Structure 1
Amino acid sequence: MSSLEILQPPHPTLKTPAALVDEIDGALVRLMADMLETMYAAPGIGLAAPQVGVSRRVVVIDTSEEKNAPVRLLNPTLTWRSDTFDVAEEGCLSLPGQFADVKRHTAVVASYLDPSGKERTLEAEGLLARCLQHEIDHLDGILFTDHLSALKRNMILRRLIKQRRARA
């Protein structure tokens, strides 16, 4: 396993809808393992393949306290969304150190393929529901900042640019 580079805006892969996974092979299994290692090291609770430069519909998530319950989702889609919403602070590994309140459905149901190719369904609420929505957004070329007003989005992007310049 190896840690992967996490892309940041304005990298075009982050804004491009990802392609469906059509074959589960050794390279894809390695990618998921590397994504989990990268996510845990960051540290984070979710990571989508476009964030590491791979334009495929692959997501890894682990919202457990112990970081020992990873979920690997291939071609995930939301098949149901609650009529209720909540607003909570979100961050993103592609936007390090940047946080904002985002409105999301309080519960969702996702269908996906597991790493063996078996069709699965995941019912989620709370943090897991929020994380699923966030990561599936990545697969569609959407960042959490796209859910914000233009003013808030631009403030976050300016802070990110300022951080990069300070590190350079």
Structure 2
Amino acid sequence: MAIGPILKYPHPGLSTLCQPVTVFDAELAALADDLLETMRAAPGVGMTAAHVGVFTRLVVLELPKEQGPRFYANPEILSSSQQTIIYTEGSVSMPGATEEVERPRQVRFRYQDLDGGFHEEDADGFYSICMQHEIDQLDGIFWLRRLSRLKRDRLVKKWEKAK
């Protein structure tokens, strides 16, 4: 296992559409372990392979209520609730910058585990927010794009000044 360098905003890789995982092998498991170690060192609660410059659809989440880390290959949202929730988000690629983002409160999503098995789950609240945030990243949508132009410009200026 190794801690990898994290792409920092505004790196163009953070706007890259990630390709599906097609091979479920020891190399994928090693990437998952590296992602987990890198995420913990950042620190963060979620991370995608894109954050370390590997543009494949792999996510790791380690949420307080969950039992240990969980890995998701090729996650996709199947449905989302009309009810929304506002939560303060940030990114390991933009340390220290946070802002409130509004997203659906609940989602149903499908993913594959590291062995290639298919699963479907419902996520609510913080879990839902995290999953949507990471799937956005896999789709090349950095979280800042969920903000109004005014909030985004203000946050970027503040973050650049703090660097």
| Superposition TM-score, scaled by structure 2 size | 0.95
SS in 1 for 2:33: helix
Distance 1:15 1:96 in 2: 17
Aligned equivalent of 1:37: 37
Give distance in 2, aligned partners of 1:150 and 1:144: 12
How far residue 58 of structure 1 moved from its aligned partner, in angstroms, is 0.4
Give the equivalent residue in structure 2 for 1:159: 158
Looking at structure 1, the residues matched to 59 and 105 of structure 2 have their Cα atoms a distance apart, in angstroms, of 20
Q: How far apart, in 2, do the equivalents of 1:149 and 1:25 lie?
A: 41
Contact 2:84 2:104 in 1 (8 A): yes
* 2:40 alignment partner, SS class: helix
Amino acid at match of 2:71: R
Deviation at 1:159, TM superposition (A): 2.4
Residue in structure 2 matched with residue 90 of structure 1 by the alignment: 89
Q: Which runs of 5 or more residues in structure 2 are unaligned?
A: none
- Please, what is the CA RMSD of the aligned residues? 1.3
- Whether the 8 Å CA contact 2:81–2:105 is kept in 1: the answer is yes
1:111 and 2:110 equivalent? Answer: yes
Cα-to-partner distance string for 1:40-96 (whole Å, 9 max, x where unaligned): 12221100111110100000001125x752110000000110110011111111110
Letter of the structure 1 residue corresponding to residue 142 of structure 2:
L
Task: Tell me if structure 1 keeps the 8 A contact 2:78–2:108.
Answer: yes
Greater shift after overlay, 126-135 or 9-18?
9-18
Using the TM superposition, give the Cα deviation of residue 160 of structure 1 relative to its aligned residue in structure 2, in angstroms.
Answer: 2.5
Contact 2:19 2:55 (C-alpha < 8 Å) held by counterparts: yes
Q: Unmatched 5+ residue regions in structure 1?
A: none
Secondary structure, in 3 states, of the residue corresponding to 1:92? coil
Q: Which residue of 2 is the match for residue 56 of structure 1?
A: 56
Q: Whole-Å Cα distance in 1 between the matches of residues 152 and 32 of structure 2?
A: 30
Where 1:88 maps in the other structure, the secondary structure is: strand
Calculate the TM-score normalised by the size of structure 1: 0.92
Give the aligned residue type for 1:38.
Answer: T
| Pairing 1:124-163 to 2, within 5 Å after superposition | 124-163=123-162
Asked whether the 8 Å contact 2:25–2:115 carries over to 1, the reply is: no
**Matches of 2:121 and 2:13, distance apart in 1:** 27
CA distance in 2, matches of 1:106, 1:11: 29
Q: In the TM superposition, what are the counterparts of 1:64-75 in structure 2 within 5 Å? A: 64=64, 68-75=67-74
Classify the secondary structure of the residue corresponding to 1:97: coil
Percent identity between matched residues is 38
